[in-house]
Structure 1
Amino acid sequence: MMGDIDGGGMGDIVRVWDERLNRSSAMKIIRADKVAHQRAVDRFIREARTTGLLQHPGIVPVHDMGQLPDGRWWFTMQEVIGRTFEEAMAHLHAAATSTSWPTHGDGSTFRRLVDALFRVCQTLAYAHAEGYIHRDVKPENIMIGRFGEVVLLDWGLGKLVASMVEDFDVDDTEPSVARVTATRAGGVLGSPPYMAPEQARGDVASVGPPADVYALGATLYHLLTGRPPYRGRTGRDVVERVKAGPPPPVVRAAKGRLPAPDPELAAICSRAMAREPGDRYAHAGELARALEEWLDGTRRIEEAALLVDDARKLWREAGALQQRAVIIEQQARRRRMELPRRPKEADQVAVWELEDEALGLRGRADQALAEVEARLSTALTLAPRHHGAHELLADLYKDRLIAADESGDETGARRWETLLRAHDRGRHLRWLQAGGLLTLYTDPPGAEVVLYREVERQRRFVPVRARVLGRTPLEAVEVPRGQVQIVVQHEGYHPAVLPLHIRRGERVDFVPPGEDAPAVLRLLSEGSLGPGEVYVPGGWCPVGGDEQAMDGIPAAQVWIDGFVITRFHVTVGEYLAYLNELAAEGRWDLVEAAGPRMPASMGTLPLWRRTDAGRVAFDVAEGLNSRLDTPDVPMTHLSWRQAMAYAAWRARRDGVPWRLPHDLEWEKAARGPQGRLWPWGRDYVAGRACIGEDYEGTPVPCRIDEYPGDVSVYGVRHTAGCVRTFCANTYRRVPVVDGDRVDITDGAPPESPYRMARGGSMFSRQLNARLAGRFAVSEETVYANVGIRLARSVPARLD
């Protein structure tokens, strides 16, 4: 031991030397006369453990704890060299006059002491957030170090709010104590002059963070007036006065003794010391915010507040402009959808005018938001701690982060998240940390649900098993944000894959449009799904939204019912078998109608012949972009009508309702509910798909087992290259709007002979191989780069 530092009712503090770490520390040792009192021992141990548990710059760190041979408990902590808030306040009051505070001397200026109290509020805000209250805040328990550090001492009465018990009562028989500011063991716990009314009454259930707020307010009262809020001959006398009513108002108590309290600071003090806990600041963080704003300076805060008000008005104006732009854009899309296939320039003028108007509105909105950011930045230059400016900037960056997340802009998302975290004052913390909540019902129930996180490796999203979420039904189960795959598996059924892009705070519950209950995921029994078939469960899916795609559509979220689609295009071998079955039935008229032909540019000559054996054989013309002599390549040189006829024949032959897919079904099967730009991810990779840009020689379709990297999240092959896919539905400029349920029964109006085709082909370059690209095809025209893929609907449940 190196000497005494201080002493108190519960223990003595001495300076000791730590021989292992070669440093001095402060050791607090319980007084010998307290060892026999279990409540005093418990309080001493609780102080050590509470102080050790709470990790904050404003709380002295505990180094070690133990028991001396004579039974006395001790703990060591960092020694803070300086003086108490009580001592600094006494020096300040001694040097002050009734009209001014001292501005020099020993450094105990009024503003510095308010700042010290503000930092104590921050310390207690941390403790309150962790669920602890101090219950003995007073000037002598606040230490101001030589280098400006401010710490809150004596956590002996600190308590976890959730574990509050009846640990104090009023003992009328206990002798009076000479020092009424002392904490009274065996009586009402706390220091009476700074004690909240509910604490003085012994109302345990009501003692919470507002009680600490009251004590902070009482300390501020003492600073402003030069005296504690209550005084008396004994501690019991003071407790009774606290219970009886409020102290004299701050302004009156300071009159003639010290400078008139600042009205804003007096109001802060009065609110902190409100008689009812509900009328005070809810916790120390709110009081800290009030003191922080005062410390920033009234004038600067007022100027900053005006700038923040201007920013809010500009924000509202920007929002109104954006909403107006959305309406005009919808009108423009409707007008464009009504245009003929090959519109004249005069027909497009009205659409252009609407698009230009919307573009102008967007520009004005962007300019207004730039002004918002500029004003808020200026406000923070004036008042760096201005809560309103930080909050509004946090809101602005949150909006930008959401937009970056939606668009897949990872660089932007990281930037906006960093700025959001820099300006957030806790309001968005839960949202930033949150994932999504998944609700899932299956038919049959009891399916195991496994979560896979998608990790990008070599420009490809790869599923990595994370954990089992449980068995269905699942109700609001937390899942991480980002791109994930949910695999649902049940004995006797094919696994179902649910690719999802989970956003912060999103509820994924599969509720279809116009309904209020989640859809039930139907699992397909074993044997009902062929090896060349893929199940795409129903649900919401993003479509469009790729500005670089050919004839792309605006981004929209649509509901697409569950369906099955073939993994590969119909092959040359399969199509030849179809023609030969027609031939075997003697239906050479149908063979004639269904047989492949050269494109119109090459004379539409047949590419098949009747053999001497009465069968169909394909001819391969020189220089033709085809491989009709190779059974396992996609069948081409057909028209949309021929594709429809084949689908109808397969439906009759298989007893399955095969059809051509709707183009948005194709898009979901290719891009997934994550809206991928390419089947494998977000970046084009040369050589991963059979497209003309990577071709040497005459472009021809690849075999179905080639280019294995061109595979979607569901397992559908060759959507970016090889051949495009005929789709059943009519070509429309803007086929859906946000929130639609896709109608796969869409028929072709008499005046519209054009149908949809989707995907890239061996002729494509990157630009027109992007998965969001769309192409119109004539019903009768033969195409050398479009093939057949079949689909069938999956009823929500069996009747």
Structure 2
Amino acid sequence: MCRSCERTTRSTAKWSPVIRAGEVVGHTCPACPKYDEPIRRTVNGAGVRFRVTLDLGADATGRRRQETRVFGTLGEARAYVLTRGAEVRSERLAGREVTGRDRMTLDTLCSRWLESKRGEVREVTRETYAHALKPVRRHLGARKVQSLTHADVLGLRTWLAREGGKRGQGLGEHAARASLTTLKQVLDYAVRAEGIVSENVARGVTPARGGGWFAVWTFRRLVDAFLTVCESVAYAHSRGVVHRDLKPANVMVGAFGEVRVMDWGIAKILGSALPTAEFEAPTSPTATREGMVAGTPAFMAPEQARGEVHRIDRRTDVYALGAILYYILANRPPFDGPSSAEVLVDVCRGEPAALVGRSDGPLLPAGLVRIAEKAMSAEPDARFADAGELGDAVAHWLDGAERRECALRAVARAAEARRLAKKEVRRARSLRDQAALELAALPMHAEEDAKAAAWEKEDLATGLERSARAHELEMENELNAAFAQEAELPEGHLMMARSFQRKHEAAEAAEDQLAVERLGLLLSHHLDALPTHWPGRGRLDAYLRGFGTLRLHTDAPAEGVLHRMEPVRRRQVAVKAFEVGPTPVSLELPMGSYVLELTDALGEATLYPFVIGRQGEVRHRPPGEDECPLHLPEDLEGDEVYVPAGWFEAGGDERAPYGLRKRDLWCDGFAMQTHPVTHEDWLRFLADQPDDEHVPRNDDGDALYSRGPDGWTLDRPDGSGSWQADAPVTYVTWHSAEAYAAWRAEQDGVPWRLPFELEWEKAARGVDGRVMPWGDTVDAAYCNLRGSLEGPPRLVEVEAFPHDVSVYGVRGLGGNSADWCADAYESEGPVIAGDRVVRDEGAPDARFRSVRGGSYRDGPEAVRCASRWRALPASRSGRVGVRLVRSIDPG
């Protein structure tokens, strides 16, 4: 290795030894004598200071002639170079035109070029022969690059290949021997093969489809190669060399991990005073330019593109390296255009398109994106100081990638545990269903042996469920281990978020509000840890937000006003949200319970309650049918309330006696009387009856009314007072209630009847499954139940409790008196056909009839609107009265 420029060679036989205290301590190459180095050279054993060799050209036989002189002082050597060198050059140029380039002589002692003109020798400057300085820069640059002995720098070979030199091998031969190809070819193949950028997925396709060994390069391998490029350029920066033309086409990669940086032909030596040549016409945006604007436009720094040569330094190469990283990430150069002139304009204007948020490919590693953006900052001061600092940043990211790969292996184990858990849960569910069917087919008194097979399946299902829970715990442990390696691991956070989503759904189905809130917070925590555009996050965000849609049209024009149900003192109160405008209606709304008030052209208002479930959609579509318009009736009377057709939540109240299981059912539209039938109403009915069959009677069969000269009166027969005229009538049989409905239908000319029990439940609970007509709280202040009044329980007038009103406006469904229903009582519930309420009274001689609602005699549990009761049709009770409905069907 040369003691001065560190150039290496296999043999130093033609080099001069460096002698210290009589000992040879090294050698220097002939190109490195300097003023400030006490170098001792020898020629034929004689101690001298300088040796100069001139090439005299070829003689008549074709042999090369050289002239070697030895001088003791630098001045003598310089004088010889200037005089004899000019003479030799003149001899060689005899007989042909002499150009400025031909008249130049290299002063190797001073690293400058001199010109011999009219017998005068002077230094070549930009002002004299700027057009001839390209070979000067190239030659001196090559001398400097020769000193770069880094294994991944193909400097001198590249220069010799471009100059047509005969020493050594050209780049093409070297590349062919080493099976190298350019990084650009690797990246371009990935684009053609529709390769993708992923932190773990291989780019390109298999070699069988063409593309050679580089067709299976992974993204990680490309980043490793880029780090090697950074290290190679960092070494050149440490030697004072700026490449100025870094691009994928000037990086060679091999099948065995080789990475070489090539084409240092326009490299700049920092601190050199050499002038720069004039501007050259543009060619391709990705082709190398030489001149004032030297380099490749698509990978140039802005200061290089503007020709600000004095600002070109190590940070210029940093920008080009950032552009290469951009190419690796985006599969395209940072700037592109039909011509290099247009690309130069774009480069000078500012930064390239952002890498984050691209829709034409997968998400990019945020760390590398930040590195590329910093390296490609428009201002040099905002970039990395040199290629070494850039390489450190990439190496730091790769160190994190190692931890990430370890964490991803834990995520893979977690995914396998989750897969096993799902498989076991499905198997356990199937076994339990089989066991239930087998047990249901057996009589309750069946022997033990007959039930053994079903019990065995239940025990096996229990074991599988226990194993599934263990696998779920294993999944969580593996994910926690992954977070210990990489706290911001998106794949782990996504899997954990999905796990909490499943638990959150189960908690909502169980109506466990505390668990819902806790799991919602945990789900939100893991969602916040995911990148904004991470695949799968959008669905989880939508799930957590819970927005749903309402789409509704009516059979007559109407204006809509939306009300949201808000809790006020334990009651659900409709609070106006905003005006919707004319129908049809299409709204996106948060989760919750709403009421849409629709007012037709006649000013009649229809209340349409609905519930927006998590990511739910509300449409007016009966089961098994197409979507239909909501019917707006025109013939409602003042004492009746319209309950429009639609879906509602039936049952599901575990505290309600004899309640039904939770189901979503469709109920056709009907109108219900605002109040129950009162004593006053019943007296008018009795006045039209030929006998006293339907007179209210107590348990002993005594009439509760008194008969006067003009008929029945509300005076009590025992003389204890009178019944309140506007209190609900009770102590009537189911048959009397049916008779009253028929009489009232004849009187009014409308088909009044008794309500079916699911119609009654919808009118009382609305569509959101509330416990009481006003909300989910049972309170004696809101309806007439046992304890609501001072003194003994008793019936009160129908207007006594103003808060005992449903969302539709029906009064008294929470207490005071219960109501006879039309259908026969069945313990498993009324008849349902395809999730649709069926209006079926059952057999005429049914033993029991349904009764719905609470009364002044009942406690808090019995008055819950999902409670169901039964009674003999001929029985009378002081808690059961009458309420009428009529069907309202479209058309």
Find 1:679's aligned residue among 767, 773, 777.
Answer: 773
How far apart, in 2, do the equivalents of 1:361 and 1:790 lie? 53
**Is the partner of 2:601 in helix, strand or coil?**
coil
Sort the Cα spacing of 1:211 and 1:419 in 2 relative to 1 into closer, same or farther, 3 A: closer
Q: Does 1:194 align with 2:303?
A: no
Q: Does 1:381 align with 2:480?
A: yes
**Is the partner of 1:439 in helix, strand or coil?**
strand
Deviations 1:107-139 (A, max 9, x none): xxxxxxxxxxxxxx99xxxxxxxxxxxxxx999
How far apart, in 2, do the equivalents of 1:694 and 1:361 lie? 53
Counterpart amino acid of 2:476? S
How far apart, in 2, do the equivalents of 1:214 and 1:399 lie? 26
Sort the Cα spacing of 1:219 and 1:391 in 2 relative to 1 into closer, same or farther, 3 A: closer
The aligned counterpart of 1:470 is 581
How far apart, in 1, do the equivalents of 2:399 and 2:804 lie? 58
**Is the partner of 1:667 in helix, strand or coil?**
helix
**Is the partner of 2:732 in helix, strand or coil?**
coil
The aligned counterpart of 2:650 is 543
Q: Does 1:556 align with 2:667?
A: no
The aligned counterpart of 2:383 is none
How far apart, in 2, do the equivalents of 1:480 and 1:738 lie? 31
1:788 offset after TM fit, Å?
0.6
TM-score by length of 1: 0.60
Contact 2:664–2:835 (CA<8 Å) still a contact in 1? Answer: no
Contact 1:729–1:755 (CA<8 Å) still a contact in 2? Answer: yes
How far apart, in 1, do the equivalents of 2:717 and 2:885 lie? 31
**Is the partner of 1:558 in helix, strand or coil?**
strand
**Is the partner of 1:574 in helix, strand or coil?**
helix
How far apart, in 2, do the equivalents of 1:304 and 1:171 lie? 42
Find 1:606's aligned residue among 693, 699, 703.
Answer: 703
- Runs (5+) with no aligned partner, structure 2: 1-148, 153-197, 200-225, 231-283, 307-318, 344-351, 376-390, 531-536
Contact 2:421–2:472 (CA<8 Å) still a contact in 1? Answer: no
Q: Does 1:616 align with 2:726?
A: no
Q: Does 1:183 align with 2:294?
A: no
The aligned counterpart of 2:525 is 422
The aligned counterpart of 1:59 is none
1:310 offset after TM fit, Å?
1.4
Contact 2:562–2:576 (CA<8 Å) still a contact in 1? Answer: yes
Sort the Cα spacing of 1:488 and 1:422 in 2 relative to 1 into closer, same or farther, 3 A: same
Sort the Cα spacing of 1:470 and 1:400 in 2 relative to 1 into closer, same or farther, 3 A: farther
The aligned counterpart of 1:491 is 601
Q: Does 1:658 align with 2:737?
A: no
**Is the partner of 1:756 in helix, strand or coil?**
strand
Deviations 1:418-474 (A, max 9, x none): 1211223424112322411111111203x1121111111111111111112232112
Contact 1:380–1:386 (CA<8 Å) still a contact in 2? Answer: no
1:390 offset after TM fit, Å?
3.3
1:483 offset after TM fit, Å?
1.5
Deviations 1:161-185 (A, max 9, x none): xxxxxxxx94988956557654358
Find 2:414's aligned residue among 287, 307, 314.
Answer: 307
1:403 offset after TM fit, Å?
4.3
1:321 offset after TM fit, Å?
3.9
The aligned counterpart of 1:505 is 615
1:540 offset after TM fit, Å?
0.5
Q: How large is the Cα RMSD of the aligned pairs?
A: 4.8
The aligned counterpart of 2:875 is 781
1:644 offset after TM fit, Å?
0.8
How far apart, in 1, do the equivalents of 2:793 and 2:454 lie? 39
The aligned counterpart of 1:30 is none
**Is the partner of 1:521 in helix, strand or coil?**
coil
Q: Does 1:442 align with 2:554?
A: yes
Contact 1:293–1:386 (CA<8 Å) still a contact in 2? Answer: no
How far apart, in 1, do the equivalents of 2:429 and 2:411 lie? 26
Counterpart amino acid of 1:783? S
1:685 offset after TM fit, Å?
2.1
Q: Does 1:699 align with 2:809?
A: no
How far apart, in 2, do the equivalents of 1:689 and 1:542 lie? 22
How far apart, in 1, do the equivalents of 2:883 and 2:399 lie? 66
1:406 offset after TM fit, Å?
4.9
Sort the Cα spacing of 1:296 and 1:774 in 2 relative to 1 into closer, same or farther, 3 A: farther
Counterpart amino acid of 1:598? N
1:686 offset after TM fit, Å?
3.2
**Is the partner of 2:815 in helix, strand or coil?**
coil
How far apart, in 2, do the equivalents of 1:471 and 1:783 lie? 48
- 1:336-485 aligned at under 5 Å gives the runs 367=466, 370-384=469-483, 385=488, 387-406=490-509, 408-424=511-527, 425=530, 426-427=537-538, 428-445=540-557, 447-474=558-585, 476-485=586-595
The aligned counterpart of 1:571 is 678
How far apart, in 1, do the equivalents of 2:632 and 2:454 lie? 45
How far apart, in 2, do the equivalents of 1:186 and 1:95 lie? 26
Deviations 1:210-264 (A, max 9, x none): 898899789979x9xxxx9xxxxxxxxxxxxxxxxxxxxxxxxxxxxx9xx99xx
The aligned counterpart of 2:693 is 593
Contact 1:556–1:739 (CA<8 Å) still a contact in 2? Answer: no
1:409 offset after TM fit, Å?
4.2
Counterpart amino acid of 1:436? G
Deviates more, 1:570-579 or 1:318-327: 318-327
**Is the partner of 1:726 in helix, strand or coil?**
strand
How far apart, in 2, do the equivalents of 1:218 and 1:777 lie? 71
The share of aligned pairs that are identical, in percent, is 29
How far apart, in 2, do the equivalents of 1:355 and 1:783 lie? 46
1:733 offset after TM fit, Å?
2.0
Aligned pairs, number:
551
How far apart, in 1, do the equivalents of 2:664 and 2:462 lie? 25
- 1:309-348 aligned at under 5 Å gives the runs 309-319=416-426, 321-322=428-429
Sort the Cα spacing of 1:515 and 1:330 in 2 relative to 1 into closer, same or farther, 3 A: farther
Counterpart amino acid of 1:773? S
**Is the partner of 1:448 in helix, strand or coil?**
strand
- 1:8-19 aligned at under 5 Å gives the runs none
Contact 1:440–1:520 (CA<8 Å) still a contact in 2? Answer: yes
Contact 1:557–1:739 (CA<8 Å) still a contact in 2? Answer: no
Contact 2:714–2:724 (CA<8 Å) still a contact in 1? Answer: no
Sort the Cα spacing of 1:219 and 1:631 in 2 relative to 1 into closer, same or farther, 3 A: closer
Counterpart amino acid of 2:643? V
Deviations 1:661-697 (A, max 9, x none): 1110110111110110112211222322111144543
Counterpart amino acid of 2:589? V
The aligned counterpart of 1:12 is none
How far apart, in 2, do the equivalents of 1:553 and 1:293 lie? 57
Contact 2:824–2:849 (CA<8 Å) still a contact in 1? Answer: yes
Sort the Cα spacing of 1:576 and 1:520 in 2 relative to 1 into closer, same or farther, 3 A: same
Higher RCO, 1 or 2 (CA under 8 Å, sep at least 6)? 1
1:357 offset after TM fit, Å?
11
1:732 offset after TM fit, Å?
1.6
Q: Which has the larger radius of gyration?
A: 2
1:724 offset after TM fit, Å?
0.6
Contact 2:757–2:851 (CA<8 Å) still a contact in 1? Answer: yes
Counterpart amino acid of 1:712? S
Find 2:739's aligned residue among 645, 652, 668.
Answer: 645
